[in-house]
Structure 1
């Protein structure tokens, strides 16, 4: 049934295209900021991107503090460390450069700049009370959509969980999307982040919170991403494909930040919390098998997605509902996505992992409800 009563939230101003980073000084001046924190990781620094960002900040005649201690799957401890430095320096805004980890960390730090307590207190939905500082997000990957979503994903090392802060107040004020920056990514990262974006498109389309607007964005994003990901993995210099990947990622982000995600992310969060798996890889290796599982609950939508990516349908719903899952299996093989065993996840951990997956709030948005421990273990074994 189509929902004709819904909310659809969009906030960020987006500057897209080659050379878009040159708009940063103008954006910073527009906010009248005197000092900002620039957040990035070692990879961004090594690629020479950080230097380019700093140069643009200098052009704006804005003081800056650098935090380059971002780690994959950022933890509460790293967030608190960065927030302490930002508060001491009395920064008035944030510039986040990199993939999802850098942008998610900057969002979390931004929460603590205007709200009391520790970041763990803001896990869940709509827990942030006060507006945040201006945040300019500059993605260097085409995968997480963190630059335009209302989500920050973090690791609680004490509870051994990956949790999310979801709040419209944490969305970046501005996005500078320059596809040139994605050229520095290794092939494996391009593949994994691209599969992350495809996971977002697929899960948001079948979410039980989907609306006509989110469905449009999810399908459009899926179409763009599925066509261009193999191209950009095969030829990293294909700038048209890179532009399309970044565009598809943003379009998809509008969909999933409003519709939310599901079972794939429940598993991926748990894998990252226990074994430090990169988020994109954790999603990709279980995606086809979760889609097989979900096909029973939303066969028509599975066919919609199969048609969207150009798969030939027979008209037999019982067969066609699995076409997408089969195509995704072929895609992860083509992209050389590592299996769970290749990512050093021991089969002996499946029982414990399954128990923790069932605690994931995101399961509430999955189209097929009633997920059991045995269901999770079966999917983990298929991905092994």
Structure 2
């Protein structure tokens, strides 16, 4: 009994216990120029046997480039090239799972995603669906995954989405765009090699980086904010300012943006995003607008919610000579507006983080319609 008292394990009536979420993090991470070439030695201990391959899901932009010979293929490992031109879809995940199951007699030793947020999300989703039944659309939501995923490793070649560190894999489903949010989604290993960002087009670099910036603004201004998310969010925001408002050389900018993405993803692990992300989900579902661009299109009109963040965002647009697309929603039908608004409003945790538990008293369909009409 004395030992219990010393450890604080007594059930004293004055002491109120609170249950906090016990979130997983990436188990292992390697960072540094050229670290991609350690992939072979990293994967070796997780290989089960010659009949259990490692499947590499690779952005098809790298097909025929010098990166492919550096992928450590042995036994019957397989590379599947995938276009990242569109948002990842649930039926795409299901098709990849069917292909892998038909191609091999055993469950793979692991799935490796090499690319931007699309490829990383696909890798996470496929690794989950190889051990869980049904369609990936059935697992869109929060904590619906029942069985652990197989080993999965992420190699980001773009920075900003935070997909390399987050516990969600965002998918376009038959009825909505929503993540598979679970403790089994997080990567087992991440390889952060800044050299893989060399050659990323300027516009793509900006839009993906702005996803990180907007993550931070929404997290730091949210009602879910706590010291854990604040510490990561503030560092990520600082790094974003250096990258997009400073005068860094390209090598330093790559390294700092890669770490901004990591910290930005961590900032929402124990928090949440907000208005821009909620509204961009609707925009992506109806118009197929890619996530980074969608966030920017919405965020530009959110002065009411994030005045300081929008001011900084406009400075970044000017500094980097970026012109946002105009009149994106000008030809939408009433039905399309209605669908877009409904999808946005379904993102309840995001709205609660942005506006509080009584968020429905502060936002309505008419308000969302007025914002979408400006885009």
For Structure 1 versus Structure 2, the TM-score category normalised by the shorter chain is 0.7 to 0.9
3-state DSSP class of the match of 1:258? Answer: coil
Question: 1:212 and 1:77, CA in 2 relative to 1: closer, same or farther beyond 3 A?
Answer: same
Question: Structure 2 CA distance, aligned partners of 1:140 and 1:365?
Answer: 30
Residue in 1 that maps onto 2:345: 358
Q: Give the secondary-structure state (helix, strand or coil) at the position aligned to 2:355.
A: coil
Q: CA shift at 1:13, angstroms?
A: 0.9
The whole-number CA distance in structure 2 between the counterparts of 1:243 and 1:263 is 29
Residue 255 of structure 2 is aligned to residue 255 of structure 1: no
Alignment of 1:81 onto 2:92: no
Residue 154 (structure 1) aligned to one of 165, 168, 171: 171
Please name the residue that 2:78 is paired with. Answer: 65
- Which residue of structure 2 lines up, in the alignment, with residue 271 of structure 1? 283
The alpha carbon displacement at 1:347 in A equals 5.5
2:54 to 17, 28, 36: 36
Aligned equivalent of 1:209, options 198, 218, 224:
224
Q: 1:179 aligns with which of 179, 182, 194?
A: 194
Q: Which residues of 2 match residues 84-233 of structure 1 at below 5 A? A: 84-88=98-102, 89=104, 90=106, 91-156=108-173, 158-159=174-175, 161-230=176-245
RMSD: 2.3
* Alignment pair present for 1:24 and 2:39: yes
Give the CA deviation at 1:29.
1.1
Label 1:118 to 1:350 Cα distance change in 2 as closer, same or farther (>3 A): closer
**Bigger mean CA offset, 350-359 vs 79-88:** 350-359
Corresponding residue pairs, total: 343
Distance 1:18 1:176, change over 3 A: same
Unaligned runs of 5+ in 1: 296-321
Q: CA deviation at 1:289?
A: 2.7
Change (3 A) 1:378 1:12: farther
Deviation at 1:6, TM superposition (A): 4.0
Three-state SS of the structure 2 residue aligned to 1:133 is coil
Deviation at 1:345, TM superposition (A): 5.7
- Aligned equivalents of 1:47, 1:264: Cα separation in 2: 36
More helix by share: 1
Q: By how many angstroms is 1:46 displaced?
A: 5.5
Query: Does 81-90 or 38-47 show the bigger shift?
Result: 38-47
User: Does the Cα contact within 8 Å between 1:264 and 1:287 map onto a contact in 2?
Assistant: yes
Structure-2 separation of matches of 1:142 and 1:184:
13
Deviation at 1:223, TM superposition (A): 0.6
| Runs (5+) with no aligned partner, structure 2 | 1-17
CA distance in 2, matches of 1:33, 1:139: 25
